[in-house]
Amino acid sequence: MNSLREFSRTDQHRALGLSTFAFAVCFAVWTIFSIIGIQIKDELLLTDTQFGLLVATPALTGSISRIFLGILTEQFGGRVIFPLQMAITAICVWLLTSVQTYAFFLLAALGLGLAGGSFIVGVAYTSRWFERERQGTALGIFGAGAIGAAVTNFTAPFLVIAVGWEGTAKIYAAILAVSALLFYIFAKTDPIQRSRKTSGAEKTSVKAQLAPLKNIQVWRFATYYFFVFGGFVALASFLPRYYVGAYGLELTTAGIFAGLYSLPGSIFRALGGWLSDIWGARLVMYVAFLVSMGTLFIMSYPATSYRISGITGTIEFEFGISVALFVILTMLLGFVMSLGMAAVYKHIPVYYPNHVGSVGGLVGMIGGLGGFFLPVTFGLILDLSNIWTAPFMLMFLLVAISTIWMHVAIRRRERTRHPELATETYLSDLPDRPLAKTGDALPK
């Protein structure tokens, strides 16, 4: 990373600030269906399954596009790919307003989903500006751009009331287009791209970029991200609908409460990156998973009426989670999921410094697919079970499986390589080892 010495802290902060701002705008656009989709649902008389598919479709494109955008960013640099991706997405969002049928709404949602691919572009661009010991914090700050989901939940309901969902979509498209222009004007070419231009070095082949994807370790990271990020996106899209249906709240109130979930899930990602630098990403992952399990267990419990035959007669009482307690639980869940998101991506530039785009793209793709499949599954199980809390039961199962797999994998790895430390170090990261010349991962 000698090329970093050519750039000042100001250059690093500029790159981080611009990337974070652009990602926040993209993330706000990416989750817009969580708000405008409710009005579209009423207009088209959609079922919960159809609604779940609609709000999840942008996550499909945003997920699959990440691996390709990651490779393109490694090839051409974030200064070129980021504004190009935003400009194309802005066009798709604007065209959304001319759609009238459900099938075409799904097609338009696929184009809008390109906004979700911005994450890996920003990760690849930002990580090239920072030394390894500061990458966790930098990427955590960048990841806080997910606050865009909270911005949508807080503001979009009022825009929908004021100008309709079509006007809201046009405003979002215009903001995204302006952001693309500003990024291109003020961003600088990253150190790696500048070094390549100066030295005339050839770009890394696509085959070499994809080589690390054969490692099971990469897919394990991707599974963790399926829950912490895919689950975050899914719940950010689902909660407005849940508040309206389960508690009978107005859309504006539901949007605000859903924003209270998205807000800590965004801004505390920077804290997760810093904690991963200080304590180790592994310990942060344990905290995120264990607290998520406890929180989701409580959220999963449906409102229940009990009737007990007592000594002197029948005893009846009800149990349910008040809306105030539920909001607090979602805020706690969003907080620990943000820590988990940062912890997962702390691993990637450390283990795969020369393949951040491809490895990070795959991890982001799998995580983003969670944002697609989970809302669809939420709608299906709601239609089949008729229980409002059923989606949280599914989320509890997912995090329980992830926690068990992570713990078993860590214990097996440490018993194999460090038997003398196997009972002492499983909560902390393994000592750094020299990477292969190709920049491939540490041995699994």
Determine which helix (DSSP H) or strand (DSSP E) holds 316, and give its type and residue range: strand 314-319
B/e letters for 363-383, b = 16+ CB within 10 Å, e = fewer, are bbbbbbbbbbbbbbbbbbbbe
pLDDT of residue 440: 39
pLDDT of residue 442: 40
Neighbours of 440 (CB within 10 A): 19
Rounded to 5 degrees, φ, ψ at 428 are: -115, 165
Determine which helix (DSSP H) or strand (DSSP E) holds 14, and give its type and residue range: helix 9-30
Q: How far apart are CA 238 and CA 375, in angstroms?
A: 7
* Residues whose CB falls within 8 Å of the CB of residue 266, separated by 6 or more in sequence, listed in order: 143, 144, 145, 146, 147, 148, 149, 150, 334, 338
Instruction: State the burial class of residue 427 (Cβ atoms within 10 Å of its Cβ: 0-12, 13-18, 19+).
Output: middle
SS3 437: coil
223 within 8 A of 404, measured Cβ to Cβ: no
SS3 205: coil
* Domains annotated on the chain, with CATH: 7-192+209-421 (1.20.1250.20)
- The alpha helices in 352-389, defined as continuous H runs, are 356-385
pLDDT of residue 123: 84
pLDDT tens digit at each of 444 positions of the chain: 444 455 677 888 898 999 999 999 998 998 888 788 878 888 888 887 888 788 778 878 887 887 788 888 878 888 899 999 999 999 989 988 887 788 888 888 888 888 988 888 988 888 888 877 777 778 878 877 878 877 887 888 889 889 988 899 999 999 999 999 999 999 888 777 777 766 655 555 556 555 656 667 777 888 888 999 889 888 987 898 899 888 888 888 888 898 888 777 767 877 887 888 788 888 898 999 999 999 999 999 887 777 787 777 777 777 778 899 999 999 999 999 989 988 887 777 667 766 666 677 778 778 878 877 888 888 889 888 888 989 999 999 999 998 998 888 878 776 766 554 444 444 444 433 333 333 333 433
Determine the angle formed by the axes of helices 231-247 and 323-351, rounding to 10 degrees: 170
Q: How far apart are CA 316 and CA 313, in angstroms?
A: 10
| Number of Cα atoms under 13 Å in the Cβ half of residue 5 | 2
What is the maximum alpha-carbon separation in the chain? 90
Determine which helix (DSSP H) or strand (DSSP E) holds 38, and give its type and residue range: helix 33-44
Q: How far apart are CA 332 and CA 295, in angstroms?
A: 8
pLDDT of residue 99: 79
Q: How far apart are CA 442 and CA 276, in angstroms?
A: 18
User: Tokens 């010495």 identify what position?
Assistant: 5
Q: How far apart are CA 62 and CA 41, in angstroms?
A: 22
- In DSSP terms, 307 is beta-bridged to 316
* Residues whose CB falls within 8 Å of the CB of residue 396, separated by 6 or more in sequence, listed in order: 293, 296, 297, 300
SS3 7: coil
* Residues whose CB falls within 8 Å of the CB of residue 183, separated by 6 or more in sequence, listed in order: 18, 21, 22, 79, 82, 83, 86
Q: How far apart are CA 271 and CA 419, in angstroms?
A: 32
Q: Which of 344, 343, 372, 371 is nearest to 360 (CA)?
A: 344
137 within 8 A of 273, measured Cβ to Cβ: yes
Q: What is the pTM of this model?
A: 0.67
Q: How far apart are CA 74 and CA 91, in angstroms?
A: 25
User: Tokens 């960013």 identify what position?
Assistant: 73
How many residues belong to the chain?
A: 444
